[in-house]
Homo-oligomer: A and B are copies of this chain.
């Protein structure tokens, strides 16, 4: 073994502390797997006075910029957010360091720019931990499925919303109550907007879509709808239809293979689908590929140690490349597919309508669906006092036709109220 691989760590929060701990505890194994010993050259933190356990205090600095510029073999960025993370990563790349980051927001906004800087500088830029925490996902998509053609990715990539939706399902409770409980347990932030309104899932959807379809995708390309409006009534309706509700990140090829659609929204998922049994704070990503068929990756999506596991996997890969004098091929965007809006996505809808209980109503409503080219798969009618309740499940149609149908229904005098509307995923065949 010769000179060590030097590692600069930017960030001393939950993930940074777990990364430092694993680097120290597993150093003998890491050295054996890399072929050279590793050495932490510095740890940039916000508060230098905080106790850091077994970490040598001489490694601690508050000057992240100088550490990023120090020319370490590998710079790990686990600060999060756009700035100063972006400038620090650019500094590291400019100084010949390979970069490992867990920063989904940054990758989803400026991924293409950072990837081309890394390629130009001949360094690696790895970010396995940015999507679905501990789950090995980006590397398998980029490498193991590289000889296949991915058609669709469906992901539960946000643990907070999955925890809330699981609780709502189990307890029949309303969103507000379960959110308060999740906040008390530390599963949701004081300001839960990024999670519950789907921004976090949208960033991850952009990263997954870019990798799967070899196209630059940013968070602005993602059609996004949060889950804060999912009601106990929706959950009950899902149960009656043999479904659960999940906030899904979906990236898919259009039918002509020339475009992609990337979207995040609450979705009814049949109990028989492997994603339906992914509960609580767990994440999972379901991939449909032409030759491989259906593949699913499951595990913890967040937390210090799980995220650190992914960061260290990237560190080993980047370190092996440094030892071999090679770099991985940069992020590929050769396909450059057109990105379409959710309106063109083919989906199926569930609707819950309160209607007048008189003859001809079902015919009038059915006509409205037909007029928009939407075909009804199933209807269940229940009398409720002197009104009737219609639970309708449609066949697959474009989202814009379905949306237009709902707008028209709301304007019909026979329709007293639209109690629920949600997209429904089809089951999978074994």
A: residues with CB less than 8 A from B are 18, 22, 26, 29-30, 32-33, 35, 128, 134-136, 139-140, 143-149, 214, 274, 277, 279-282, 289-300, 303, 305-306, 308-317, 320, 324-327, 329, 332, 334-335, 430
Cβ of B309 and Cβ of A292 under 8 Å apart?
A: yes
Cβ of B293 and Cβ of A148 under 8 Å apart?
A: no
Cβ of B32 and Cβ of A316 under 8 Å apart?
A: no
Given contacts A139-B143, A312-B147, contact A292 B298 (CB under 8 A): no
Contact residues in B for A332 (Cβ distance below 8 Å):
32-33
CA A277 – CA B332 in complex, angstroms?
Answer: 36
CB distance from A415 to the nearest CB of B (A): 39
Q: Told that A134-B292, A143-B313, A324-B329 touch, could you supply 13 new A-B pairs with CB distance under 8 A?
A: A26-B147, A33-B146, A134-B289, A136-B143, A143-B316, A146-B313, A147-B311, A148-B312, A292-B309, A292-B310, A295-B298, A295-B300, A324-B326
- Among A26, A29, A35, A144, the most chain B Cβ lie within 10 Å of the Cβ of A144
Contact residues in B for A274 (Cβ distance below 8 Å):
277, 298
Contact residues in B for A32 (Cβ distance below 8 Å):
214, 332, 334-335
Contact residues in B for A303 (Cβ distance below 8 Å):
293
Cβ of B329 and Cβ of A149 under 8 Å apart?
A: no
Q: Closest B-chain residue to A304, C-beta based?
A: B291
CA A291 – CA B145 in complex, angstroms?
Answer: 25
Q: Closest B-chain residue to A280, C-beta based?
A: B430
CA A430 – CA B313 in complex, angstroms?
Answer: 23
Interchain residue pairs A-B with the least CB separation, the first 9: A147-B312, A136-B144, A136-B140, A292-B309, A134-B292, A295-B299, A291-B309, A146-B316, A296-B298
Total copies of the chain:
2
CA A309 – CA B386 in complex, angstroms?
Answer: 58
Cβ of A305 and Cβ of B291 under 8 Å apart?
A: yes
CA A281 – CA B294 in complex, angstroms?
Answer: 12
Cβ of A299 and Cβ of B309 under 8 Å apart?
A: no
Q: Closest B-chain residue to A132, C-beta based?
A: B295
CA A296 – CA B332 in complex, angstroms?
Answer: 27
CA A139 – CA B332 in complex, angstroms?
Answer: 20
Cβ of B29 and Cβ of A329 under 8 Å apart?
A: no
Task: Tell which of B291, B300, B314, B326 touches A312, judged by Cβ atoms closer than 8 Å.
Answer: B291
- Among A312, A313, A320, the most chain B Cβ lie within 10 Å of the Cβ of A313
Given contacts A135-B295, A143-B139, contact A26 B320 (CB under 8 A): no
CA A289 – CA B128 in complex, angstroms?
Answer: 16
CB distance from A213 to the nearest CB of B (A): 11
Q: Closest B-chain residue to A23, C-beta based?
A: B147
Cβ of A136 and Cβ of B295 under 8 Å apart?
A: yes
- Among A18, A309, A324, the most chain B Cβ lie within 10 Å of the Cβ of A309
Contact residues in B for A290 (Cβ distance below 8 Å):
305
CA A277 – CA B276 in complex, angstroms?
Answer: 11
Cβ of B430 and Cβ of A309 under 8 Å apart?
A: no
Cβ of B18 and Cβ of A309 under 8 Å apart?
A: no
Cβ of A295 and Cβ of B146 under 8 Å apart?
A: no
Cβ of A35 and Cβ of B144 under 8 Å apart?
A: no
Please, could you name 28 A-B residue pairs with CB atoms under 8 Å apart, sorted by A?
A: A26-B147, A26-B148, A32-B334, A33-B146, A128-B144, A135-B292, A139-B139, A140-B140, A143-B316, A143-B317, A144-B313, A146-B312, A147-B313, A147-B315, A148-B309, A148-B313, A280-B430, A289-B309, A291-B312, A292-B300, A292-B306, A292-B309, A293-B300, A293-B303, A296-B296, A296-B297, A320-B329, A324-B326
